[in-house]
Chains A and B, each alone.
Chain A
């Protein structure tokens, strides 16, 4: 696969597909949906051209694609899929099963709005629909983070037996071109050895096991409690895996963050009066908007599940204004990110506000961000 450690100028989808090919999964299955298409078209082509040796199965639906990679993972394979929007919704039953069965699936979500009204553009409504499925959910700000997360995702999935979803903003990341470093196979192999699950942990006739047993009321809740504990515990693994990877593949950054543990990244003054909390590609534009603001900081959520509540509390507790910007709604309630943040800052005495931005691809401009900051002394939920 054409790749090296040098800077390249690539479309986001191409950066992701090259990285996935270099990770060398055994089985890829997907069903094409905008804006995920370029990623899976690339991966299908690499295989068809003989540049990659994975099995590529174009499924008849997203439900089938998810089921195929679930099956391949249960049989001990390293697997990959990608989807968006309604496609993710169609996968939903399988996604819960993948997490419950503790199978290390890795999937890209090219985030897109959910219909109706039909809309192909970006927001986080699709991701929020799988919020409670039990997956690790990571969000990327730019091409480089998307690339990094894909490698780290396999490390996490295969060491924790928890499936991982990497969220990349549809079009904004998938269809834009920028500078990015693609890790080659050798660099990836140093970090992520070939996947060989232990006999007795996957479907193999030499040592038969049952996957997906029936759990009665006495045991079901205990299994769920265990899954919750394991997902919460994964915060330490994520920090370790993130730091290890960035040592192997350092990349240029525009703005050195004051704090970054892989779960959250903080940019801004040491004692911000106002703290913005956001996820994904809008973080870049927010950082740009904060260049002329000396009392406002940005806490970027990199990992939405597990939710980095402790880190958030540490940064949010002493601010006067908390500004949560998010690309999803929970009609009739506050946004999902806002609700999660507020549950973790019981001591917070200031004003908190929830700003629903970028729905269905609505551009998030520096001007909108400045207006949000100006309005931050007023509590409540607002659409922009």
Chain B
């Protein structure tokens, strides 16, 4: 089983990001579970959402205390104590940041080594390709590249399904943004 915990702020689409990963994995034939750390919706408040993926039906419903993968949508949350709770030497951290993994590792006082960290300037990509600072889909491009848990194709299909009421333009922009984030990791500039 793969356990993913996503940290972001209210209004950044944390819950949607969890659902997109799970839906993409479901479309790839896996059992999936996605749920938020249910809170009263408040813009800007720290929010968590959880994803479990497995080849067999998933029965546990506890929150994720020992994540295999951490996705941080908002760099300012890195210094929040609860964000790194339960990490280990195998945990992968994917963070929206224009800093390098070494810099982030230093910021975290080496609680994670640089090779566990993937940084992606998702805010820049979002501003350029979506026209606003909405990184929840963009960072999933980096997640897809770094973990290969889902494919970029299944992520894009999940976006199409999830955003079908938002119209073609938004779907296309998001497809382009996740692809840009996906490629950024592979060919760092």
Q: Which residues of A contact B (CB under 8 A)?
A: 7, 9, 35, 120-121, 142, 171-172, 175-179, 252-255, 281-282, 284-285, 287-289, 361, 363-367
Contact = CB atoms under 8 A, between A and B. Distances in A.
Contact of A121 (B26, B33, B38, B63): B38
Contacts of A361: 38
A285 B64 CA distance: 12
B35 interface: yes
Contacts of A367: 65
B59 A285 contact: yes
A189 B128 CA distance: 53
Contacts of B19: 177
5 contacts: A171-B38, A175-B35, A176-B61, A289-B60, A366-B60
B176 to A, nearest CB: 25
Nearest to B51: A177
A174 B183 CA distance: 36
A171 B63 CA distance: 12
Nearest to A34: B40
A172 B31 contact: no
B28 to A, nearest CB: 11
A177 B32 contact: yes
Interface in B106-155: none
Nearest to B34: A177
B56 A254 contact: yes
Contacts of B34: 176-178
Contacts of A363: 62-63
A310 to B, nearest CB: 27
Nearest to A369: B62
Contacts of B60: 284-285, 287-289, 366
A285 B33 CA distance: 13
Contact of B62 (A7, A171, A365): A365
A7 B23 CA distance: 12
B31 A175 contact: no
B59 A177 contact: no
Contacts of A253: 57
B85 interface: no
B61 A9 contact: no
A51 to B, nearest CB: 15
Contacts, number: 70
Given A172-B61, A178-B32, A254-B56, 17 more contacts: A9-B22, A35-B38, A171-B38, A175-B35, A176-B33, A178-B58, A179-B57, A252-B57, A254-B58, A255-B59, A282-B61, A287-B60, A289-B60, A364-B61, A364-B62, A366-B60, A367-B65
B26 A172 contact: no
B36 interface: yes
Contact of A281 (B23, B40, B61): B61
B59 A284 contact: yes
Number of chain B interface residues as a range: 20 to 34
Contacts of A35: 38
Contacts of A284: 59-61
Nearest to A368: B62
A355 B43 CA distance: 36
B26 A9 contact: yes
Contacts of B27: 9
- Name which of B19, B33, B36 has the most chain A CB atoms within 10 A of its CB: B33
Contacts of A171: 35, 38
A-B pairs, top 10 by smallest CB distance, nearest first, are A176-B35, A288-B60, A254-B57, A284-B59, A9-B26, A171-B38, A177-B34, A365-B62, A254-B59, A178-B33
A171 B38 CA distance: 7
A17 B33 CA distance: 19
B140 to A, nearest CB: 16
Interface string B54-77: 001111111101000000000000
Nearest to B26: A9
A364 B65 CA distance: 12
Contacts of B56: 254
Contacts of A285: 59-62
A359 to B, nearest CB: 14
Contacts of A282: 61
B23 A9 contact: yes
Contacts of A288: 59-60, 62
B35 A177 contact: yes
A288 B32 CA distance: 16
Nearest to A7: B26
Contacts of B33: 176-178
A175 B62 contact: no
Nearest to A169: B61
A255 B33 CA distance: 17
A366 B62 contact: yes
